[in-house]
Chains A and B, each alone.
Chain A
Amino acid sequence: MKEILKLDHIQKFYGNEGNVTKAIQDIDFSVQEGEFLGIMGASGSGKTTMLNCISTIDTVSAGHIYLDGTDVTEIKEKAIAKFRRENLGFIFQDFNLLDTLTIRENIALALTINHIPVGEIEPRVEEIAKSLNIADILDKYPYQVSGGQKQRCACARAIINHPKLILADEPTGALDSHSSQMLLSTMQSMNENLGATILMVTHDAFSASYANRILFLRDGVIFTEILKGRDTRKVFFDKILNVLTMMGGGISDVL
């Protein structure tokens, strides 16, 4: 199994006007192809920072990030955009859809900026929409559909280019419980049936239980790691809760 992502002792500092905070002290792990990895931690533990660094939106202060062999930290400024659109897919908490385009156009945009031949675009969009159950809302505008549908559209957009890695930042953050469930099963099927490698950052144990490996971050380092193995989701969920309790988090970390 190929190693898709490797974080090599990365550190990240933030600073302004006289004080510097250490967002990431030392993180080192790797992700295999086809994994569904969840990253959990309280606010301030550095998880979104780490995601930003992996996705090249932000740069690390020290260390290397290897995406399928390429050192992301060494890519020149000009080539980063190209690298990002060819290799990564994103799912954000606030959907990040363009309100001036229909759902179909939003998904197609991911293809057009990659210079996919015009003839291939429509069929691919239809195909992915069918597999994610949003085929009926393709010609609506984002403000006309529900949050869950919007997020599934974001998923479609993220996956349609067959990226090497899909990064999800609190995907269920703005959804109600029913939509969250639908979204998470969608993501699970993306991982199992379409073979997508997903890295999901969340503070919600329920979302995390859909992953098959979880890393817990605290104060900028990896605190511990648990694997789903052959456990059912319910059992895995309990395990997650145990770790969270042990980490000393309050109720806010459990929910």
Chain B
Amino acid sequence: MNGKQYWKDKIPLFLINIVCMVLLSVFLLFVGNNADSIAVILIIWTMLLAGVLTFTYHQRKRRLNKLVKMAEGLEEKYLLSEMLPEPEHAEEQVYFQLLKMASKSMLEQIGTVARERQEYREYIEQWIHEIKTPITAMKLLCENHKEPFTREMMRELEKTNRFTEQALYYARSEYTEKDYSVQEIRLFDVVHQAIADNKYLLLQNQVALETEESELTVYSDDKWLRFILDQLIVNAVKYSREHPVLHFYTKVQGDQIFLFVEDHGIGICANDLPRIFEKGFTGKNGRIRQNATGIGLYLCKRLCDKLGIGIAAQSGETGTTMILSFQINHFIHQVQG
């Protein structure tokens, strides 16, 4: 509470008191009392007034400061009105009621919005699950009738599957915590799984694969990591030149493990490079090779942030290298020998 303001508010009170004191003293003098008795009255009056005012001021200040500190320590500040104690003074009570009313309506609003989103999300998830059935059915049909036409179908189906997966992961990306399963995984196992996912795509585009195998392991969720690598592979293929190459290799530096996904594609131009992870950014490349949604890398970055994986891009005329960095947990490694 602002002390100066408090005392400034009390100025009219002081003035009234002083005027009354003067009037009373004059009156008493006229009536016949001597200066000593008047002095006693005035002294006691002043002492009382000063004492009461100072005491009230300190109490109020202490209480209000406590409230402010309480509010600052609270994370969800919109729940402040639930936490504040009921005030005793009439003015504060009115303000408190107003605060409660505002908070209540806001909480209701948030609740409604949250519920709507939840329903929508659940609908999407449900839809995605439903749609997987026909996609799988179509895949089976294609595999049972292996013909060139069906191979192309498979490729398209892979794409469809990828997009539905992307939608699913996008929907789920807010609540990744609910689906974690962190374990020690061999990086190149995941790499091979991601390659296998996109088998048809790579075959069709005649992509040459180079993998520098290593036994390095990291602690992460393999499903999410697989999805991220999927995305990077798709991008590499999309923005490739003739005779595309995909190069996977790792490097250990300090307390981090780096996984490099290198392609020799068209590369990303310098002024687009800082912005590739932005939501909906398609850039120059997106305009050349259409069908870019701008969501892929954005989703990758979000997932990497949630998983604690660093993601970065290096690019030039000769191609793009996506770098994933994993923290080595020395403690666990040491414990595990």
Could you list which residues of chain A lie within 8 angstroms of chain B, going by C-beta atoms?
Answer: 9, 11, 13-20, 26, 59-63, 73
Contacts and interface: CB of A to CB of B under 8 A. Distances in A.
Interface stretch (B4-12, B18-26, B73-81): B73-81
A102 to B, nearest CB: 36
A20 B104 contact: no
A13 B79 contact: yes
A63 B111 contact: yes
Nearest to A25: B111
B103 A61 contact: yes
Given A15-B79, A63-B111, 5 more contacts: A13-B79, A13-B83, A16-B85, A20-B79, A62-B107
Q: For A9, A16, A18, which residue has the most chain B Cβ atoms within 10 angstroms? A: A18
A13 B111 contact: no
Nearest to B73: A18
B108 A63 contact: yes
B62 interface: no
A20 B74 contact: yes
For the residues of A in contact with B, the DSSP-based class is: strand
Contacts of A19: 74
Nearest to A20: B79
B111 A62 contact: yes
Interface of B: 70, 73-74, 76, 79, 81-83, 85, 100, 103-104, 107-108, 110-112, 115
Contacts of A60: 104
Contacts of A13: 79, 82-83
Contacts of A61: 79, 81-82, 103-104, 107
27 contacts: A9-B111, A11-B107, A11-B111, A14-B82, A15-B79, A16-B83, A16-B85, A17-B70, A17-B83, A18-B73, A18-B74, A18-B83, A19-B74, A20-B74, A20-B79, A20-B83, A26-B115, A59-B100, A61-B82, A61-B103, A61-B104, A61-B107, A62-B107, A62-B108, A62-B111, A63-B111, A73-B104
Contacts of B103: 61
Contact of B115 (A9, A16, A20, A73): A9
Contact of A15 (B82, B104, B108): B82
Nearest to B106: A62
Q: For A16, A26, A59, A62, which residue has the most chain B Cβ atoms within 10 angstroms? A: A62
B233 to A, nearest CB: 41
Contact of A9 (B73, B79, B82, B108): B108
Contacts of A17: 70, 83
Given A17-B70, A18-B73, A62 B104 contact: yes
A60 B100 CA distance: 10
A63 B107 CA distance: 8
Nearest to B75: A20
Nearest to B83: A15
Contacts of A63: 108, 111
Nearest to A12: B82
A44 to B, nearest CB: 17
A106 B82 CA distance: 35
B250 to A, nearest CB: 43
Nearest to A16: B83
Cβ-closest 4 pairs across A and B: A15-B83, A62-B107, A13-B82, A18-B73
Contacts of B81: 61
Given A9-B111, A61-B107, A20 B82 contact: yes
A92 B79 CA distance: 30
Contacts of B85: 16
A16 B115 CA distance: 28
Contacts of A26: 111, 115
A63 B110 CA distance: 11
Nearest to B107: A62
Contacts of A11: 107, 111
Contacts of A62: 104, 107-108, 110-111
A11 to B, nearest CB: 6
